[in-house]
Amino acid sequence: GGMMPQGGMMPQGGMMPQGGMMPQGGMMSGEMMRMMMGMMSAKDGSAEQMMSPDHVEGRIAFLQAELKLTDAQQPQWKAVADAMRTNAKLAKEAMAGMGGAMMSAGSAAMTPLKRIDQVEQMLSARIEGLRQLKAAMEPFYATLSEAQKAVADKLLMPAPMGMM
C-alpha cells in the first residue's frame, strides 16, 4: 500500500506517498508544499526577519554585542559589517529583480534562456558578495579570542541569500 508505517506520518496527518516525498507524477501538491514550507520556516518568523536584507543593521548590532568586541577589533569588524551591508543590498536587489521576473514569467518575453541569464547574474553577484565577505572575515576572525571564536562559530553563518 501507499501508507507509511505508524510514526511515518507527515505533520497535520498527511501521509507520504510510497517511495518518498514526491507523488508518482514528480510534482508536489499544494498541501504538501505548504507543509514543507511550514516545516522549514521558523515558528515565529524571527529567524527570517533577522536574515532579511531590511534588518541588516539590527543583525550587525546583535553580532557586535554578542561577540563583545574590543576597541582593537573594531577596524576589522567595520570591514565585516560593511561587507554584510553590501551583501544585504545585493540580496535585496536580487530578490526585487527575481520578483519582477516571476511576475512577467507568464509573458512570451520570458524565455528559458532569459531566466537562465537572470539566475546567472544573481549567482555571480552572490559569489562576488561572498568573496568580499570572506576577504573581510579572515583578518577579523584572526583577531578573536577563543571565547569570541566559539560565539562567532555559532552566529556568523552565511544564509543562502548572502546575509549573516
Residue pLDDT, tens place only, 63-120: 999 999 999 999 999 999 999 999 888 888 877 766 665 555 555 578 999 999 989 9
C-alpha cell of residue 64: 557586535
pTM across the whole model: 0.59
Where is pLDDT greater, at 59 or 28?
59
**Counting Cβ atoms within 10 Å, is residue 30 exposed (0-12), middle (13-18) or buried (19+)?**
exposed
Q: Using CA atoms, how far apart are residues 46 and 146, in angstroms rounded to an integer?
A: 28
Q: Are 104 and 34 in contact (CB under 8 A)?
A: no
